[in-house]
Structure 1
Amino acid sequence: MLHILDFGDKWISWIKACLSSARASVLINGNLSEEFSILRGLQQGDPMEPFLFIIAMEGLHIAIDNLVKNGGFESAKIRHMRLSDLFYADDVMVGGECSIGCKVESLPFKYLGIPIGASPKRVSTWEPIISKFRKRLTRWKANLMSIGGRSTLVSSVLGSIGNYFLSIFHMPKTIRNKLEALRSSFFWGGSNNKRKIHRVKWDSVLTSKESGGIGIGSLQTMNFALLYKWRWRGLKESDILFRVISDIHGGDCFYNMSAKSKGTWKNIMLVANQIHHKAILPRDVISRKVGNRKLTRFWIDTWCGNQHLASRFKRLFAIDTVKDCLIYERHLDTSWTWKWRCDLRDGHEKEQLTNLLNILPSTFTHEDDT
């Protein structure tokens, strides 16, 4: 594979040397054992692993792509996009017609530990996380630890066990109460068979130190943060995953927090809207930084002030003939230009235009919008 990608012979020899001549020893009771050769090649966790994985996956991607082009394999079709393969971490997902001899699965099924197609509203979907919490607690002896040690374990370990689930699914209230009850019981020195007195409300313990709490942090807050991060990633990154989401739910789905069909993305966007509705985060927490004006929509994106111009100047937005126009289409050279479907009337409409012109910037940079 390295030869196919035109890597130099000297560089290839270095890689071979790293894989074939490596030696290791084991630390036993504080003493190093004799060195021995590593006979099974690259080990997981090796610093070289992600780089060589990318090279290997590039070869696999080219092979699948050639197979698709030659008619030997039909890729899966998602709306207007064809998808043959996805690479994530050290895992590969191949998408195509099921007529290639592969086993046909049914929903729900597990992929990377996540139940695909399962309803996050069902308690059974969350049983693996509840079981992990309980198993971890049985290994620890709460009565043998100081409250500082229990605090560390509750926040760093019990607070992160469910992160994978919490980044995909909205946690129901019943599940949240169960998990927080397990954390609370362990924090106060209790166990499955014995309950200790809780001297302070658990919500006060979860509160940040600046607000008078211990700062352990609630699972609900973690859940909200991990789910909202998908919106941020969709706005910042251009991976194929986000192109697929955009193709299914529309190019505005990350800005407008919208979804065109039921499923995981819709549930995530419901949480994102809930976060703003409850004023946990202001709606202008994410806004555009305008440069050359070619990626930012004039009316719909938040770029001038703390809300988009369509909601601040509703009448002007209503009579604009191109409602999703970009800024550079409205700002030519050094002046603003408009495309109204009718002449502006004296009074409210002209007053809105005056107010709009007063807040609009007059100059822009040549950098890309971000």
Structure 2
Amino acid sequence: MVRQYSRKRISPRCTINVDLRKAFDSVSWTFLSRVLHGYDFSPIFISWIMECVSTTSFSVALNGSLHGLFPGKKGLRQGDPMSPALFVLCMEYFSRLIKRNTSNSDFNFQPKCEKLKITHLLFADDLMLFSRGDLPSIHILIECLQEFRDVSGLAVNTAKSNIFTAGIQDDILDEVLAMTEFARGHMPVRYLGIPLAAQRLSFTDYSPLVDQIAGCIHKWIAKSLSFAGRLELIRSIIQGVECFWLQIFPLLVAVIEKIHRLCRAFLWNSKRAPVAWEDICHLKEESGLGIRHIQSWNDALLARVLWNIHCKADTL
């Protein structure tokens, strides 16, 4: 949906990356209660939930010591196992609100989103909005954010929110920026920990992945780990980190080689490798160590995405 944002001659389009200010801490308890009633939960269940939420108290850390207990007035506690589920229910209200408000004729979908009627992507408090790059459509999105703020207490942090545009004339763009009060963003941008780019990713764009793997290895080097321990960390932790990226992007050969070098040096304790890495990346039944070959695993995960698109062409 952001793939062609680097082109100059393109139909007008707009993407807004929204940051909610202190999302979990700002949820109105009155709003939460109304949402639970709207989902038709039983009254006794709602009373239990609200009792857990509204009986919270807070202390202030001063010079390393906790002082006082202050009753809360709003918000969901961070770390509470119920909080993510309750927050998702609150954000579902926003999804239905934006679906209702964008159903009128004044709203125009972004060209890439029109077939599936996509107006937003939402994961917890990470929110992205999409529309055609015209004033009426963008105004409807901003009205949705304002209405949601008034009923839920969840306000937009304009300092950390960005708007990405393409194909919009300069005079209209100035009006859009003035109306939204968002800073104009530039690709690539991080969303859910991965870069969204209008063009093919470069080696530098993969640096968060490489740096994360290098950071893990740097912490482990200080520990006296056996060969079996280092092998298990590569198979369980490093390959878990890789998998998130491998199912989204085709990794560059240079990136794969860099990761191989990091893992090889860690596995053999920075000594000369007695066995080729290609031989290690085989099943144990085939005299390997059970480490996945990154390129083959990358191809398999991307092929699964293509298969899902083929089988479910009418879904997101």
Asked if TM exceeds 0.5, the reply is yes
| Matches of 2:200 and 2:78, distance apart in 1 | 32
Q: Pick closer, same or farther for the CA change 1:207–1:116 going to 2, 3 Å.
A: same
| Matches of 1:117 and 1:208, distance apart in 2 | 35
Which has more strand, going by share of residues? 2
| Matches of 1:225 and 1:90, distance apart in 2 | 31
Amino acid of the structure 2 residue aligned with 1:96: S
Q: Deviations over 1:310-351 (max 9, x none)?
A: xxxxxxxxxxxxxxxxxxxxxxxxxxxxxxxxxxxxxxxxxx
* Superposition pairs of residues 263-342 of structure 1, within 5 angstroms: none
Q: Pick closer, same or farther for the CA change 1:149–1:92 going to 2, 3 Å.
A: same
Q: Pick closer, same or farther for the CA change 1:205–1:67 going to 2, 3 Å.
A: same
- Higher relative contact order, structure no. (Cα contacts within 8 Å, ≥ 6 residues apart): 2
**Residue number among 302, 312, 315 corresponding to 1:227 in the alignment:** 302
Q: CA deviation at 1:160?
A: 2.2
- What's 1:14 paired with? 48
Partner SS for 1:164: helix
Q: Pick closer, same or farther for the CA change 1:235–1:17 going to 2, 3 Å.
A: farther
- What's 2:101 paired with? 67
**Residue number among 240, 252, 256 corresponding to 1:172 in the alignment:** 252
Q: Deviations over 1:192-226 (max 9, x none)?
A: xxxx1211111122211010111122222331232
Q: CA deviation at 1:23?
A: 8.9
* Superposition pairs of residues 1-370 of structure 1, within 5 angstroms: 1-21=35-55, 41-44=75-78, 46-69=80-103, 74-77=108-111, 78-98=113-133, 99=135, 100=139, 101-102=179-180, 103=182, 104-117=184-197, 119-120=199-200, 122-141=202-221, 144-190=224-270, 196-234=271-309, 243=314
Larger Rg: 1
Q: Deviations over 1:286-319 (max 9, x none)?
A: xxxxxxxxxxxxxxxxxxxxxxxxxxxxxxxxxx
| Matches of 1:38 and 1:206, distance apart in 2 | 56
Partner SS for 1:110: strand
Partner SS for 2:121: strand
| Matches of 1:79 and 1:67, distance apart in 2 | 16
Q: Pick closer, same or farther for the CA change 1:211–1:218 going to 2, 3 Å.
A: same
Contact 1:166-1:227 within 8 A present in 2 as well: yes
Q: CA deviation at 1:124?
A: 1.4
Contact 1:119-1:125 within 8 A present in 2 as well: no
| Matches of 1:21 and 1:158, distance apart in 2 | 41
Amino acid of the structure 2 residue aligned with 1:87: L
RMSD: 3.2
| Matches of 1:20 and 1:119, distance apart in 2 | 47
| Matches of 2:208 and 2:110, distance apart in 1 | 31
Amino acid of the structure 1 residue aligned with 2:126: D
Aligned length: 226
Contact 2:91-2:124 within 8 A present in 1 as well: no
| Matches of 2:83 and 2:301, distance apart in 1 | 27
Q: Pick closer, same or farther for the CA change 1:118–1:135 going to 2, 3 Å.
A: farther
* TM-score normalised by length of structure 2: 0.61
Q: Identify the range of structure 1 (150-159 vs 54-63) with the bigger mean alpha-carbon deviation.
A: 54-63
Unaligned runs of at least 5 residues, structure 2: 1-34, 59-68, 140-178
